[in-house]
Structure 1
Amino acid sequence: MKVLIAGAGRLGTQIAQVLSGAHNDVTLVECDEDRTAELGGLRQVRVVAGDACEPGVLERAGALACDLVVAATGHDEDNLVIGLLAKRRFGVGRVAARVNEEENAWLFDQRWGVDVAVPSATPLVSLIEEATGATDTVALLRLSRAGVEVIETAITEESRAAGRTLGEIALPAGTVVATVVRGGRPTVPRPEVRLLPGDELLLVSHEATEREIHAAFQ
C-alpha cells in the first residue's frame, strides 16, 4: 500500500515507522526544514520537504499514486485542506485526518474529502486497523502511543549480529524484539532464531534510545 503522511510530528513519524516496518510504501511530508533534516535517518521512509497544503508538494510526494493519505498535522485547517486536495484533486481512495480541536470535529466529513476523522485522543489507530487489516501493526502503534518507541533495524553483512541468535544479543533494558522480517515474511522472534543479512527487526522499548538499540545489532 502506498501511504502519504502529512505532518512529521511525533504521531506522524511513529505512524510512518510502523507502516514502513509492515512493508508499506511510505512518504512523509514536512514543512519545517529543521525537522526534515532530523528525519534523514528514518529507514524505508521517503521524506519530502514542503507544505502539504500546496498541490505541487502533494504531487511531488506521489499523491497521484497513493492509496491512503493521512493528514496528521497539529492544525485542523491544514488537515482539512490536505484532505480536500487529496480526495478532489488527486483522487486518493482513502483519506484520514486528525482532529486536534473537538469543536472542529463536525467539519471533518466527506464534504472536505475526509473518509476517517480521528480525534486526537485516539489518533489514527482505527484508521490503520481499517486500512491495513494488520492487527499486529495496530498493536505496535498502540504501544507507541503508550510511550513505547517502535524502532526498526536491519542486519547487513557487516552487522555484528549477523550469524548470531537472538538469544545471544544483549538488548538494552526495557527492550524486546517484536518480530523478525525475513524474505518479506514476519517470524516469531524466538531466542534460537539466527540472524541473517537482509533480516529486518522491529523492536519496542520504553527506555532505550534508537542509537542504543542499533548499537546492539550493528
Structure 2
Amino acid sequence: MRALIAGAGRLGARIAQVLASAGSEITLVESDTARVAALRERHGARLTVGDACEPTVLERAGARVADVVLATTDNDDDNLVISLLAKRHFAAPRVVALVNDHERAWLFDQRWGVDVAVPASTPLVSLIEEATGASDTVALLRLSKAGVDIIETVITSRSRAVGRSLMDIALPAGTVVATVVREGQPMVPEAALRVRAGDEILLVSHEAEEEEIHAAFQ
C-alpha cells in the first residue's frame, strides 16, 4: 500500500512508523524543516518538504499514485484543504482526515473529500484501521531487534471475552496486556478488570502470533 501522510508531527510520524513496519510505502509531507531533519534520522519513509495545502507539493509527494492520503496536521482548516485536494484534484481512492476540534467534525464529510473523519482522541490503531481497511486485530509495531510485537485486538459484542476479567483469559506464552483503551481512555490492566464490548486491548508479546491473540479474546 502507498500512503501519503500530510503532517509529520507526533501522530503522523507514529502512523508512518506503524505502516512502514507492515511493509507499506510511506511518504511524509512536512513544512517544518527542523522536524524533517529529525525524521530523516529515524524513519525510512520518503520525506517531502513543503506545505501540503499546495497542490504542487502534494503532486511532488506522489498524491496521484497514493492508495490513501492521511491529513494529520494539528490544524483542521489545513486538514480540510488537504482532503479536498487529495480527493478532487488527485482522485485519491481513500482520504482520512484528523479532526482536532470536535465541534467542527460536521465539516469533515464528502463535500470536503473526506472518506473517514477521525477524532484526535481516537486510539492510534483505530485510526490506522480506518486508513487501511485492516481487520480488527492488527500488528501495531514490529520491534524486530527486541523480537517483540505490540498487537491490538478490538472487543465486539460477539467476543467471548466480554464480561470476563483479564485474569480469566488464557493468553499465549510470552504475552502480557499492556493497556485497555475504553472510550478513548487508557486504563491500567488490573487482573480483575472486566472486558467490555468496545474495549481496545493492547498486548505485548515476543512469541504469539496475531491469530493466537485474536483467538484468546474473540
TM-score (norm 1): 0.64
Equivalent residue, structure 2, for 1:177: 148
Asked whether the equivalents of residues 5 and 72 of structure 1 are also in contact (C-alpha less than 8 Å), the reply is yes
SS in 2 for 1:11: helix
- What letter corresponds to residue 51 of structure 2 in structure 1? D
Equivalent residue, structure 1, for 2:134: 133
Task: Give the direction of change, closer, same or farther, for the CA distance of 1:30–1:152 in structure 2 (3 Å limit).
Answer: farther
2:135 and 2:23 map into 1 onto residues whose CA distance is 11
Matches for 1:63-212 after TM superposition, within 5 Å? 63-122=63-122, 125-130=125-130, 131-137=132-138, 140=140, 150=141, 177-178=148-149
Equivalent residue, structure 2, for 1:51: 51
Following TM superposition, the consecutive aligned residue runs of length 4 or more in structure 1 with deviations greater than 4 angstroms are 150-154
Task: Give the direction of change, closer, same or farther, for the CA distance of 1:133–1:65 in structure 2 (3 Å limit).
Answer: same
Asked whether the equivalents of residues 68 and 93 of structure 1 are also in contact (C-alpha less than 8 Å), the reply is yes
Of Structure 1 and Structure 2, the greater helix share is in 1
5+ residue gaps, structure 1: 141-149, 155-170, 180-189, 191-203, 205-218
Shift of 1:103: 1.1
Asked whether the equivalents of residues 83 and 96 of structure 1 are also in contact (C-alpha less than 8 Å), the reply is yes
Asked whether the equivalents of residues 17 and 152 of structure 1 are also in contact (C-alpha less than 8 Å), the reply is no
Equivalent residue, structure 2, for 1:27: 27
Task: Give the direction of change, closer, same or farther, for the CA distance of 1:59–1:78 in structure 2 (3 Å limit).
Answer: same
Task: Give the direction of change, closer, same or farther, for the CA distance of 1:2–1:47 in structure 2 (3 Å limit).
Answer: same
1:125 and 1:66 map into 2 onto residues whose CA distance is 20
5+ residue gaps, structure 2: 151-173, 175-203, 205-218
2:37 and 2:53 map into 1 onto residues whose CA distance is 20
Asked whether the equivalents of residues 142 and 149 of structure 2 are also in contact (C-alpha less than 8 Å), the reply is no
